[in-house]
Structure 1
Amino acid sequence: MSVAPNSETRGLPYWELVTLIACLMALNSAAIDIFIPALQDIGSALGVGDENRRQLVITAYLLGFGAAQLVFGPLSDRFGRRAVLLGGLAVYIGASLIAIGSPSFEFLLALRAIQGIGAAATRVIAISVVRDCFGGRRMASVMSLVMMVFMAIPVIAPNIGQGIMLFGTWREIFVAIAIFSVGIAIWAFIRLPETLAPENRRELTAKRVFEAFRIVLTNRTAFGYTLATSLIFGVLFGFINQVEQIFTQIYGLGPSFTLIFSCTAVFMAIASFLNSRLVERFGMRRLSHGALFGFLGLALLHGVVAYALNGATPIWFFVPVITMNFCLFGFIGTNFNSLAMDPLGHVAGTASSVLGFMQTFGGGIFGAIIGYMYNGTIVPLLVGFCVLATGALVCALVADGGLFKARHRRGEGRREQPAE
């Protein structure tokens, strides 16, 4: 397909490029959140007695999704974005279709990991395409719009999953996500141009791959914010792992818990939209650092109150405070992601894969640990929030060499604008 060389969106209308990238990211969110209301039925159907073990349906996907990004990044820097994206979508679709007939829990987990492997290509390519086309605060603004859709999926996906469960079983959920992914694959095949300029293609040799990884891992800003992103996404995955048990067992809501979960996601999506409007005025660092301080303060307050009330706050307290936490999350994750990518435009594919691996694989492990600590109270969740948010704050400070540094950071690559 032809590429308009002087167009920052490579020949696509701006709105279509952003929408397509958002839909690619949405495949990942949907594959996680649509299964939240089905975990109990999956456990019952496949003989899983340990309730906390059901969370592996989420974790297996995240681990496959995180690990495979290390492969797709170098591949996309060598062969281009389109070929790698379409190959990954084919794996995602195939695993989704085979999983419909899963005879055992272990077989299902294996297919969920393979499904995550295929989805890894969509995440790497989505972020690489944005970095191919934009830089600096403009990149952060675009990523905020993309993340707004990504974060809006939890509003829809759990309720779609619950609706499917009313008329069918968890197996039909795999049918739904397969159909969705086929539609996205057709759209990308027809409309998405190649955004990697020929002069930026890197040879696929061990030496060049390790050199690209060295660039990513030795850039203090990139590596520090990558670790911070991993920790803060562990917060999100920990909440997703526990959310069904918290709402159904502690608060006794039953299937209707997806509506409250959706309300939380609505405010998180709104925050991401506001970030896209505010980031070009205030800068990524000020917004993300300020939001992280607020997140940590709320989590500490909530944890103290929950401990004082024998492990659980009233639902009228829990829901608003958790919602405020994830509103603040909307100002953290996107900006940290952009800050990590900003100095690495010349190795965007590999940079995206390293960031994605650490964010998803590392965040998935952190989230799994928090999820498995569930003990019938909300205290383990809030302790996890505090520990991971503190770690993310430390990593961000180390990455900057201070809190609010107003200097222009070029890192290893050229920027279009300063990231402040």
Structure 2
Amino acid sequence: MATAAAAGRAAPGPGQIEFIALMAMLAATVAFSIDAVLPALGDIAEEMSPDAPNLAQFVLTAFVLGMGAGTFLAGPLSDAIGRRPTVALGAALYCAGAGWGFFAQTLEGLLLARLIQGIGAAGPRVTMLAIVRDRHSGPEMARIMSFVMTVFALVPAVAPLLGAGIIAVTGWRGVFGAFLVFSAISVGWLWLRLPESLPPPRRRPIRPALLMAALRETLSNPRVRRAIIVQMLAFAALFATLSSLPYVFEEPYGRGASLALWFAALAVLSAGGSLLNARLVGRLPLGWIVTGTMAVLAVLSFLAAALASAGALPFPAFWLWGVSVFFMAGLVMGNVNTIALEPLPHVAGLATSVVASLATVGAVALAAPVGLLYDGTPVPLTLGVGAMAGAGAWLARRL
């Protein structure tokens, strides 16, 4: 295993299992911040937008939008000052947003708090990818990312249940207190156990000329550009599903009260996507895995849309379709990141920022209209995901 030396000294680091768990914890900042809020959307809508309950889903959108914007800063910052300080600064901003959200009295104030949280969450998210790229490359990086995503996938199984429990005791504002605790644990773990993976000689100062040169290098590579668009489409499908699931579970199927339990089961099953990917990596080209996965999801989504239009999509079938969306993420996200970052090891931080930010902001732009088109049936969601997956499969043929 290729491991970067710590800055100026030989420092013991975590073993592979602990490293994977720590990277998953950093990545889970995003998943926990989204999934723990899902059970609270109804209460937030009732308190802050009773006349337009659909607007409550922007609590998710604002966070993801902030995260996309924050990635433009996190990558260059991590290249300039190191990975560990960048995580710490991002966590501080994330905690500030969580505190603001706890005391917010209007929907607009809550959305602004979530935007700040998202900007802060970009620090752990982007830096995690850069740390993995510092230490690994090629199929080994894809394999490590598959295991990271497997652990990461368990967070959506726990987060809604934890969120529902907190809400039952403290109300929805208590979830924002849980964000503070989660961030403190993950950053403390990193600071105590993981040596800096980017020593001073390899750092790049934040200079406009250097940033523009690295940006041009990243975007001038056709394969990287295609990987960004494929990641954007995959993330948009995932985010559209997350935004709409609480409404679909509640209205047409009457399962709103058991949302957390159904979502937990969905997340546990979909973790198999990452485990399967870990076995396929090295045996099949990464582009083949991505193309096949998104093509299958497109077919399943259009079939679900046709059945829903005819009123013949029972809840178990819809739930299994939801599993397929999250299963897709386990087979696609890590591989697309690996494809995008493989040619750019010398600008890993900035490349991670460009890839993640463009994919995330683009995903929000694609997913938000799907959520707003919700009409009391699963049709808009399944059609939207089918279109995104189909376009992704077509583009991924040339990865």
TM-score, with length taken from structure 2: 0.95
What corresponds to 2:268 in structure 1? 266
CA contact (8 A) 1:296 1:386 kept: yes
Q: Identify the match of residue 15 of structure 2 among 13, 16, 27.
A: 13
Q: Identify the match of residue 140 of structure 1 among 139, 142, 145.
A: 142
2:230 and 2:48 map into 1 onto residues whose CA distance is 37
1:294 and 1:265 map into 2 onto residues whose CA distance is 19
What corresponds to 1:414 in structure 2? none
Letter in 2 for 1:320: L
CA contact (8 A) 1:59 1:365 kept: no
Mark the CA change 1:99 to 1:326 in structure 2 (over 3 Å): closer, same or farther.
closer
Mark the CA change 1:79 to 1:137 in structure 2 (over 3 Å): closer, same or farther.
same
Deviations 1:251-282 (A, max 9, x none): 00132022112222112212112212221222
Higher mean displacement: 204-213 or 93-102: 93-102
Deviations 1:302-350 (A, max 9, x none): 12222222xx611132122332343233212221121111111111101
Structure 2 counterpart SS, 1:195: coil
Q: Identify the match of residue 113 of structure 2 among 104, 107, 111.
A: 111
Deviation at 1:10, TM superposition (A): 7.5
What corresponds to 1:123 in structure 2? 125
Higher mean displacement: 217-226 or 299-308: 299-308
Higher mean displacement: 323-332 or 376-385: 323-332
Deviations 1:198-232 (A, max 9, x none): 34322311110011111111111111111100111
Matches within 5 A, 1:308-327: 308-309=310-311, 313-327=313-327
Alignment: residue pair count: 396
Deviation at 1:390, TM superposition (A): 2.0
1:203 and 1:254 map into 2 onto residues whose CA distance is 50
Letter in 2 for 1:370: V
Structure 2 counterpart SS, 1:170: coil
Residue 46 of structure 1 pairs with residue 48 of structure 2? yes
Letter in 2 for 1:331: L
CA contact (8 A) 1:152 1:266 kept: yes
CA contact (8 A) 1:65 1:120 kept: yes
2:6 and 2:69 map into 1 onto residues whose CA distance is 33
2:230 and 2:11 map into 1 onto residues whose CA distance is 29
What corresponds to 1:182 in structure 2? 184
2:183 and 2:191 map into 1 onto residues whose CA distance is 12
What corresponds to 1:86 in structure 2? 88
Mark the CA change 1:305 to 1:8 in structure 2 (over 3 Å): closer, same or farther.
farther
2:323 and 2:30 map into 1 onto residues whose CA distance is 22
2:324 and 2:376 map into 1 onto residues whose CA distance is 23
What corresponds to 1:352 in structure 2? 352
Letter in 1 for 2:142: A
Matches within 5 A, 1:9-408: 11-309=13-311, 313-398=313-398, 400=399
Deviation at 1:47, TM superposition (A): 3.8
CA contact (8 A) 2:62 2:114 kept: yes
Letter in 2 for 1:135: S
Deviation at 1:178, TM superposition (A): 0.8
Aligned-residue Cα RMSD (Å) equals 2.0
Letter in 1 for 2:44: I
Deviations 1:82-111 (A, max 9, x none): 111111111111221232111111111101
CA contact (8 A) 2:238 2:325 kept: no
2:189 and 2:326 map into 1 onto residues whose CA distance is 31
Higher mean displacement: 197-206 or 119-128: 197-206
Gaps of 5+ in 2: none
What corresponds to 1:404 in structure 2? none
2:192 and 2:299 map into 1 onto residues whose CA distance is 47
What corresponds to 1:418 in structure 2? none
1:327 and 1:75 map into 2 onto residues whose CA distance is 33
Deviation at 1:43, TM superposition (A): 1.5
Higher mean displacement: 335-344 or 281-290: 281-290
1:98 and 1:306 map into 2 onto residues whose CA distance is 40
Structure 2 counterpart SS, 1:343: coil
Higher mean displacement: 119-128 or 286-295: 286-295
TM-score, with length taken from structure 1: 0.90
Higher mean displacement: 272-281 or 318-327: 318-327
CA contact (8 A) 1:25 1:126 kept: yes
Letter in 2 for 1:220: P
CA contact (8 A) 2:13 2:193 kept: no
Deviations 1:134-169 (A, max 9, x none): 000000011111111222111110111111122220
Mark the CA change 1:120 to 1:185 in structure 2 (over 3 Å): closer, same or farther.
same
1:397 and 1:95 map into 2 onto residues whose CA distance is 40
Gaps of 5+ in 1: 401-420
Letter in 2 for 1:365: A
1:216 and 1:396 map into 2 onto residues whose CA distance is 18
Structure 2 counterpart SS, 1:93: helix
2:55 and 2:105 map into 1 onto residues whose CA distance is 17
